[in-house]
Amino acid sequence: MNIWIDSNQKLQQMCAQLIEVATLAIDTEFIRTDTFYPKIALIQISNGEQCWLIDVLSIDQFGSLKQLLEDPGRILIFHACAEDLEVLDHALDIRPASIFDTQIAAGIVNIGYCMGYARLVMQMFEIELDKQETRSDWLKRPLTDRQLDYAAIDVLYLHRMHEILGSTMQDLQREDWFAEETQAMFDMAAGRKDTSDYYLRIKGAWRLQAKSLSALRRLCDWREDTARVLDKPRSHVIKDTVLLELARRLPTGEEQLHGIEGWYPRSVKRYGQMVLRQIAASGNDTPAEAIPEPLTKSANNVMKAMRSALSEVAEEQNIPQEFLSNKKELEAILRSAMASKDKSQRQWPARLNQGWRQVSVKPAIQAVLENMDSLQ
């Protein structure tokens, strides 16, 4: 049974009804196509028996919902909740404390790594879901019956998943693993707010000299601030490729801004002077450190050996290999090892220096690094 919540009074009544419920399943629907910030449209909540569909657009008092969802004694079941946490935080100032993410749990018990909700439902229950409404307009009112059914289905199986996955983790004695991954997820969500190093993510930025790299850093910071103020996606302000070319050219006058692929005259007119000011100001900044070049062929051989070693660990632990360590972490470890023969200087990601990864993952990587010279 689905209950439509479209007033402050109904929301308060719902929260009062659920205040004693220890476990709730939750999902959100939002749009993020032409804005910087996601626009929340709907929140689905289930107690395992019925579903409440909260029409966020019709409500302006969310205090009772905030109290309900932020109670650390209440477990909220999500699937792949990073974006849900972001939209709840930005739109409603709600920051859930106790999370059970079924995507994380499914990875820990080796059902599958990073599985989408529909695929996991098929894997666990052999039920095929209709996902055709995924990209529909959730801000439009009224919502269609098909949209409402789709929204409710997104929380329909979460309680069953929680029960099965939680029990399996307990049998495998991997509750601590889950706690570590959940904390890492919270840290990642918090880290996404920090865009001070966005320039490091620009493809090809490693080719720039120090002066151009400093300009790129300042241009990225300016674009970030502009996108947030205008509530527009970064690429709608200026594309990454345009910023890279501006940093490479280091123009000093508006006549030098034309002819850059992907930067149209209207945008040049709107942002040209701002861009020139940022480039000029970057000359007084502390020079940006050089970005390392891509790994050489010989270094990639070591990377392959590291992944092969992790594959063996994954097989022994009966866990998806991707769960052990990601490419970015392995590359950082390898670069630090190549930079110094002193083992104490090697830089290990925090999560490889604690918990179950310190016991099983770190030694496997260390063994490869001990034999690194023969692999290059």
What is the distance between the alpha carbons of residues 335 and 250, in angstroms, rounded to a whole number?
Answer: 30
pLDDT-based confidence at residue 375 (cuts at 50, 70, 90): low
Q: For residue 354, how many other CB atoms are within 10 A of its CB?
A: 13
What pLDDT does 179 receive? 93
Residues 6+ apart with CB under 8 A from 194: none
pLDDT in tens, 2-56: 999 999 999 999 999 999 999 999 999 999 989 999 999 999 999 999 999 999 9
Strands 51-55, 2-5: pairing kind = parallel
In degrees rounded to 5, what are phi and psi of residue 42?
-155, 145
The closest of 66, 12, 76 to 45, measured between CA atoms, is: 76
In degrees rounded to 5, what are phi and psi of residue 176?
-65, -35
Q: For residue 322, how many other CB atoms are within 10 A of its CB?
A: 13
Check pLDDT > 60 for residue 141. Answer: yes
Residue 145: is it exposed, middle or buried by C-beta count within 10 angstroms (0-12/13-18/19+)?
A: exposed
pLDDT in tens, 93-119: 999 999 999 999 999 999 988 899 999
Residues 6+ apart with CB under 8 A from 118: 128, 129, 131
Where do the domains of the chain lie, and which CATH numbers do they carry? Answer: 2-191 (3.30.420.10), 198-282 (1.10.150.80), 297-375 (1.10.150.80)
In degrees rounded to 5, what are phi and psi of residue 116?
-70, 165
Check pLDDT > 70 for residue 353. Answer: yes
In the chain, what percentage of residues exceed pLDDT 90? 83
